[in-house]
Amino acid sequence: MSRPPLQAALFDMDGTLVDTERLWWEAVDEVAAGLGRALTGADQPDVLGRPVEHTAAWLAGITGAPLGELAAALHREFAERVRTGIVPRPGALELLRSLAREGVPTALVTASPRAVADTVLDVLGRHLFAVSVTADDTEHTKPAPDPYLAACRALGVDPAACVAVEDTETGVASAEAAGCVVLAVPSLAPIDEAPGRTVRESLEDVTPASLRRLVAPDGPTLRVMTWNLWHGGTKVRDHRAKQLAVIAETGADVVGLQETYGTAAEELAEALGWHHHRAGDNLGVISRHPITARLGDPDVGFYGAAGVRVRTGTGTEVDVWTVHLDYKPYGPYEAAFDGLGADELIAHEEVRLGQLRDCLRRLDDAVPVVLVGDFNSPSHLDRPEVDWPVTRAAEAAGLRDSYREAHPDPVRDPGHTWSPIHVEHEDGSGRPEPQDRIDFVLHRGLAVLDSRTYVRGTPRTWPDVEDNDWPSDHAAVVTTFALGTAAEG
């Protein structure tokens, strides 16, 4: 199914194009301080990305001050700061000018009033925007979809063919509700990645071409997901329906599964109308593309590897392997709880290393390969103080870590997959559970367009998990590959 090309770029204003999110926070803080209320990080949802009316009502509710007077004071404080302190965000003007040169329509979509937007438009250049939508122009403003829908109607474009650039969760919610593809560039508060949403640190490296790829990646793609189902998902009510919802939301084409509890791969594939391969009682692969070969031992034990060859719609064949490596002894526990040094940690990886090498020996050099799974080992790319041999062995075999290709900084983007539900260690000691990236999508012979971890909703922590929307104790990893273009190096 082809997707339309980029029809328009829709930009939030405060914190995205100009550094006014800070000015708005300062204005609210000034007014609140006059009422004896100091702002804290917990106040961000009622301040950042919010229109004056919302924040004024919120302040009125907690201070008892008259709503009208609060709104007027907020308008006054913010407008004064805007007049004297507008600073374009890094890369903003360059991107706007590039879009104008290439004839891509742009719109300003803001929850600020028209008077403030007009001031900003004068600074940035009105000629750079075909349309502007402010809090005065729609009945409901962000997080409702109305502002983005209004901008798309004015431009005569399809929201699904537009990229909305936002810096707050409120704005992201508005754009996603309107059906836009979202590029999030957080200013003051972090924003998590999610399917259909890309997060970048700044606009400095964003180009019209990169926006086009968000809407319509160049050429055919293959989206591969790894997912440990956690006892088949049976710890959570309605786990099969929730698993199906996750697969649909991620848009995965192929899913490598671990802890299938025997029948999960077959049941999921049957419900989706997909193809599947079951190996033993723990491993499986499901694919929307035809499976042309089944690889590895079909009677593999609980730990080990299994693979398939899939033929994509373009005729390209790709081998996809799923692995589950033994979890004992678990290095992060030995490091955090037992204080073992690097040499001892490396020595204790021999079982996992042997299991992985057995899989690596089976990989075919004649076709692109994707190797996914629960490795139960950290990566040497994340923890350089230990040269973790399992991921080193995969690297030596020519496999590249798709998540680290997309997110090279492990401090900024740790990508933890263990564990979204375990905050404290299960032994009741109250010790924090080590959080690590132990689930991987590795590849050879493909190019990475995007990679992200995925957890549906906000799971409750163990043991109160039976009603979670997320039926697993691992985060999934979802990587989108370009087909037919091998990565360099």
**Residue 156 dihedral angles phi and psi, to the nearest 5°:** 70, 40
Please, what's the b/e burial string for 81-108 (b: 16 or more CB within 10 A of its CB; e: otherwise)? bbeeebebbebbbebbebbbeeebbbbb
Q: Tell me the residue ranges of DSSP E strands in 40-148.
A: 106-109, 131-133
Residue of 14, 146, 401, 450 marked active site: 14
Question: Checking DSSP bridges between strand 162-166 and strand 400-401, what pairing results, if any?
Answer: unpaired
Question: Checking DSSP bridges between strand 197-199 and strand 221-228, what pairing results, if any?
Answer: unpaired
225, β-bridge pairs? 255, 478
Torsion of CA 160, 162, 166, 169, to 10 degrees: 0
Whose tokens are 């021999």? That residue is: 350
> What single-letter amino acid sits at 170?
T
370, β-bridge pairs? 320, 443
Of 452, 448, 476, 446, residue with least CA distance to 318: 446
Give me Rg for the CA atoms of the chain.
25
Catalytic residue flag (residue 19): no
The alpha carbon of 306 is separated from its chain's Cα centroid by a whole number of angstroms, namely 27
Catalytic residue flag (residue 12): yes
The alpha carbon of 57 is separated from its chain's Cα centroid by a whole number of angstroms, namely 32
Give dist(CA 473, CA 480) in Å, integer.
23
Give dist(CA 459, CA 471) in Å, integer.
9
Evaluate whether 461 touches 422 at the Cβ level (below 8 Å). Answer: yes
Could you list the active site residues? Answer: 12, 14
